Structure 1
């Protein structure tokens, strides 16, 4: 059994199949309306499962029906996005690939919170799934450093690569017994869109981390203005790639030459 939804949950699924594991069922979030036309689109995991010839369901209880007919050894959860109900956990054993060094950053947005907080290191833990929010025992963890210029996208790719290898290797060698989590617990709440607005009074390092997260925005002459990339030069933030409202991404200097800000004029 495999439960996952976004793109970062696709490589572990593909790796499990390539390693010879039989995946009886994939459970993922329902199709969503995307774009202006409102066309229903499947999740990346659903697309991958269909390509691999694996049955797909959208209800966790469907796991029990499959398990009743053909007993399953293990369920694997990677960025599924929903809590699994106790009556399912009582019938099946699950492991969860969590993208932080537990118990730091339990919850929905561990990658984003580690980056925003300025952590020097994060990682991936293979853990036992239980009813609490990311509270289960840990089978193994691998650390991943966060560089001074690492973006959230780059960090996700690295964590997925490391986590995929960890999952496949531990299933091959045997999970063993999980160890209780130790250390200070922190929680990774989902990123609120309001958090992505740049506060120009904040420390420059904090603003740089927000831009590296992706989606950071400000305003210029009353219009929304995104900053996709920036550098810190001599203690000041220098935009590199920007996107004025209604226009494509462009080089900051090219935009500046066209907009011609007045002396002292800056983002709002």
Structure 2
């Protein structure tokens, strides 16, 4: 089969690598335009683009695929991408965390299959891994689905479940789901080649939406229960990084566990080699890995050497 691939971050690059290593021909890769990144804010190619170019694949980076865009440049690039797809001999488009909406004009050219990091219909939308951890879900997984114009509403083709451990962060869970998604899309396309890939509609019950993560919600509100804050610390690791304010300084919290203790929300109950225990609206949170602005991520004992927290209050 000839596969057009559309994706952008590392999650998608894992799938592209799996397809390439499985021997599928990939005549075109779509990915988002290069973005400024890092301290120098230099333009950086997406993980998908880097893999594609390293393996001699053609890459296109349109700003949009919507030909009716009111922005002249977006409309022009969308029409060029549409014409390229129409002229291309391919069998299926595989989409994984592309970041652009595929309009009906694209969906109608060839079948489109999506790799989605949740157990649909739970957590449709942009941030299914973050939201599953934040909500305290005990399991998640990957769904291979057909694409429609609706947001992750298409029929399900394959699904595999993955347990969520108490130690999981979005980073660790992302890596497991990315590898699983790569394996599953290879299996799905092989079934499609054999004519035995079935699709079933999603259940109408249990639909939830995984809204995009904002930097603002990563600020910890210590009037909330410790268990919710513990889940948010894990959900926002590595992006955008949960944080609390101490004397006007944003202290990032990369890892934490639940602890015993009570007091005024935000009050530091203890700060020692075991971690920094902070009272919450219910229970307490023991922070075990922290970071100050411009500093490195440090285990609590090392962090406290340069940033004492005894008697302080997180706000």
Q: Contact 1:25 / 1:63 at 8 angstroms: preserved in 2?
A: no
Equivalence for 1:188: 210
C-alpha displacement at 1:236, in angstroms?
2.8
C-alpha displacement at 1:254, in angstroms?
2.6
- Aligned counterparts, 1:113-262, within 5 A: 113-174=131-192, 176-182=197-203, 183-213=205-235, 214=237, 215-234=241-260, 236-262=284-310
| Runs of 4 or more above 6 Å deviation | none
C-alpha displacement at 1:67, in angstroms?
4.0
SS in 2 for 1:122: strand
SS in 1 for 2:36: strand
Equivalence for 1:28: 31
Equivalence for 2:265: none
Equivalence for 1:2: 5
1:224-247, Cα deviation, whole Å (9 max, x unpaired): 110111122335311111111222
SS in 2 for 1:24: strand
Q: Contact 1:64 / 1:91 at 8 angstroms: preserved in 2?
A: no
Using the TM superposition, name which of 21-30 and 238-247 deviates more: 238-247
Using the TM superposition, name which of 168-177 and 133-142 deviates more: 168-177
C-alpha displacement at 1:257, in angstroms?
4.0
* CA spacing shift, 1:178–1:87, aligned 2, 3 Å: same
C-alpha displacement at 1:165, in angstroms?
1.1
| In structure 1, C-alpha distance between the alignment counterparts of 2:310 and 2:82, rounded to whole Å | 65
SS in 2 for 1:239: strand
TM-score (norm 1): 0.94
Using the TM superposition, name which of 214-223 and 241-250 deviates more: 241-250
Listed as ranges, the gaps of 5+ residues in structure 1 are none
1:97-142, Cα deviation, whole Å (9 max, x unpaired): 0011111111111111111111111111000011111110000111
CA RMSD, 1 decimal: 1.6
Q: Contact 2:86 / 2:109 at 8 angstroms: preserved in 1?
A: no
| In structure 1, C-alpha distance between the alignment counterparts of 2:38 and 2:305, rounded to whole Å | 32
Q: Contact 1:32 / 1:40 at 8 angstroms: preserved in 2?
A: yes
